[in-house]
């Protein structure tokens, strides 16, 4: 199904929905992984991002996203100068994240740190401002930013999914999708919960307090 948004593109600061709006949304998602504007950010650009990103403002869009600017925020034009004034230490590198056709040409790997939290995220800009996060801290995921999302790592114990679903229901949060992956039986499970309502800090803290949860964080919805 093709939406009108796919045809006319998102409301944004130009020039390119792929290199600007999508790049900004990837920065917003990476920011959420550390709970706010990171202190340090390393952004590795792949494919078209690496070859033509600077001319399309990809660097400004990503840094603006890391600072919490939305794709239609006029401050994106001056994001690099603002980041320098506010002390965001960032660097861009050109790299190759995969030789095969499965790696989208507009892809970036983010390594962000804030306080004692570090996260690594791989995501792609798919066009018309749409994005897809494919990896977080080495775990394969599929996160579009179309929903508020809870991501957590927990021990692979029986009843964990039911317990988390109960906490969400008790707090009035409806589940849209759920994806669970694990590296081995009895090891850590990586869970991605996409939800309709924005979970508050109480929900996050309740999940973190569960004895078998290693860490949990929220990703804000970044689509229109």
Number of folded domains in the chain?
Answer: 2
Do 27 and 116 have their domain in common?
yes
125, 1 contact by CB (below 8 A): no
Secondary structure in 3-state letters for 43-107: EEEEEHHHHHCCCCCHHHHHHHHHCCCCCCCHHHHHHHHHHHHHCCEEEEEEECCCCCCCCCCEE
CATH number of the domain within which 210 lies: 3.30.70.260
pLDDT at position 188, please? 87
CATH number of the domain within which 100 lies: 3.30.1330.90
Any domain includes 166: yes
Any domain includes 224: no
The last residue of a domain, from among 92, 114, 137: 137
pLDDT (tens digit per residue) in 126-159: 988 889 999 998 888 899 999 999 999 999 889 9
pLDDT at position 8, please? 39
Do 22 and 91 have their domain in common?
yes
DSSP symbol at 30: H
The last residue of a domain, from among 137, 157, 186: 137
User: Which residues lie below 8 Å from residue 159, measured CB to CB, with a gap of 6+?
Assistant: none
Do 209 and 116 have their domain in common?
no
Spatial CA neighbour of 163 closest among 124, 215, 209: 209
Do 24 and 87 have their domain in common?
yes
Do 107 and 190 have their domain in common?
no
pLDDT-based confidence at 197, cuts 50/70/90? Answer: very high
pLDDT (tens digit per residue) in 73-128: 999 999 999 999 999 999 999 998 876 556 788 999 999 999 999 999 999 999 88
pLDDT (tens digit per residue) in 35-84: 899 999 999 999 888 887 677 789 999 999 999 999 989 999 999 999 99
pLDDT-based confidence at 4, cuts 50/70/90? Answer: very low
Do 189 and 131 have their domain in common?
no
To which H or E segment does residue 41 belong?
A: strand 40-47
Q: In Å, what is the CA distance from 37 to each residue of 32, 59, 117, 124?
A: 8, 16, 12, 20
pLDDT-based confidence at 7, cuts 50/70/90? Answer: very low
Q: Which domain, by its residues, includes 198?
A: 148-219
pLDDT at position 1, please? 46
Do 103 and 35 have their domain in common?
yes
Do 110 and 198 have their domain in common?
no
Residue 176: φ, ψ to 5°? -95, -50
Do 120 and 155 have their domain in common?
no
pLDDT-based confidence at 15, cuts 50/70/90? Answer: very low
pLDDT at position 53, please? 67
Do 8 and 65 have their domain in common?
yes
Q: What's the mean pLDDT when you consider all of the chain? A: 87
Do 47 and 14 have their domain in common?
yes
pLDDT surpassing 70 at residue 32:
yes
Do 46 and 129 have their domain in common?
yes
């Amino acid at each position: 199904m093709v939406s009108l948004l796919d045809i006319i593109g998102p409301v944004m600061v130009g020039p390119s929905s792929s290199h600007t709006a999508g790049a900004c949304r990837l920065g917003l998602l990476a920011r959420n992984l550390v709970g706010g504007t990171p202190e340090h950010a390393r952004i590795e650009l792949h494919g078209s991002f690496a070859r033509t990103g600077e001319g399309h403002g990809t660097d400004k869009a990503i840094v603006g996203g890391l600072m919490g600017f939305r794709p239609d925020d006029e401050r994106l034009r001056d994001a690099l100068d603002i980041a320098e004034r506010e002390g965001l230490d960032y660097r861009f590198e050109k790299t190759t994240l995969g030789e095969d056709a499965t790696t989208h040409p507009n892809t970036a790997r983010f390594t962000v740190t804030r306080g004692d939290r570090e996260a690594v995220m791989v995501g792609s800009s798919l066009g018309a401002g749409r994005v897809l996060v494919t990896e977080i801290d080495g775990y394969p995921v599929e996160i579009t930013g179309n929903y508020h999302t809870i991501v957590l790592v927990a021990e692979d114990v029986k009843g964990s999914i039911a317990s988390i679903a109960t906490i969400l229901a008790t707090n009035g949060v409806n589940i849209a999708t759920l994806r669970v992956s694990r590296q081995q039986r009895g090891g850590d499970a990586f869970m991605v919960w996409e939800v309709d309502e924005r979970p508050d800090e109480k929900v996050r803290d309740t999940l973190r307090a569960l004895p078998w949860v290693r860490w949990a964080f929220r990703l804000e919805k970044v689509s229109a």
